[in-house]
Chain A
Amino acid sequence: DTGVSQNPRHKITKRGQNVTFRCDPISEHNRLYWYRQTLGQGPEFLTYFQNEAQLEKSRLLSDRFSAERPKGSFSTLEIQRTEQGDSAMYLCASSFKSGQGAGELFFGEGSRLTVL
């Protein structure tokens, strides 16, 4: 397994456009997380899935943000009607849900969003 993969690595868009990011987790992992990181800050939790179930989404930043994990494998994060304040690095991570590896997140390299 090559680890957590995120695409695209960098997205430049105009304000008001919709963008979608994809994350392919480590195949053995049950959980998939989305975080956002802005300059000078640590990762900020957005949402997570356990298999295909989205167990926490109250921390998504607004109703313009949504995430899916349709078959419990890859996930997408969509931002509708982007705003300049959405410019950030969007991080995906995966982990086991229980056992010795629980809580150990494996991160992808991130998808950087720039909204003009």
Chain B
Amino acid sequence: AQSVTQLGSHVSVSEGALVLLRCNYSSSVPPYLFWYVQYPNQGLQLLLKYTSAATLVKGINGFEAEFKKSETSFHLTKPSAHMSDAAEYFCAVSGGSYIPTFGRGTSLIVHP
């Protein structure tokens, strides 16, 4: 069994500020972890993934995430937010079957 909890349905930051989107997971097997982004009227696209290699994972558009087993967390960060980062972000977990279970999503709002 696996599940994902995303803390905060909305996160609001100023342009240029740090972005931190929180994700905690539960998995009965070693997890594969993913972050997806969904822009308005577009399909979900993969930002980054963790598959048991390096615990700090770098993705597209300057995003990165760190796998912390002791905290069962996989938080997404970006040092400096851009207006174009405004979107819905989904954390997902899967086991060896590669069927991702998604969180409820966090809407990132970027203020000028």
A interface vs B, CB < 8 Å? Answer: 4, 31, 33, 35, 40-45, 48, 56, 91, 93, 95, 97, 102-110
**List of A residues within 8 angstroms of B46 by Cβ:** 104-106
Sample of 11 more A-B contacts, CB < 8 Å, known A42-B102, A56-B99: A35-B102, A40-B105, A42-B92, A45-B101, A91-B43, A93-B44, A95-B98, A104-B34, A105-B46, A107-B45, A110-B43
In the complex, whether B82 has a CB less than 8 A from a CB of chain A is no
Question: How many A-B contacts if CB must be within 8 Å?
Answer: 57
Please classify how large the interface on chain B is, using the bins under 10, 10 to 19, 20 to 34, 35 or more. Answer: 20 to 34
Beta-carbon nearest neighbor of B42 in chain A: A109
Using A42-B104, A103-B51, A104-B49 as known contacts, say yes or no to A109 and B43 having CB atoms under 8 A apart.
yes
**List of B residues within 8 angstroms of A97 by Cβ:** 98
User: Would you call B104 and A103 a contact (CB within 8 A)?
Assistant: no
CA distance in complex: A33, B98 (Å): 11
Nearest Cβ in chain A — how far from B58, in angstroms? 15
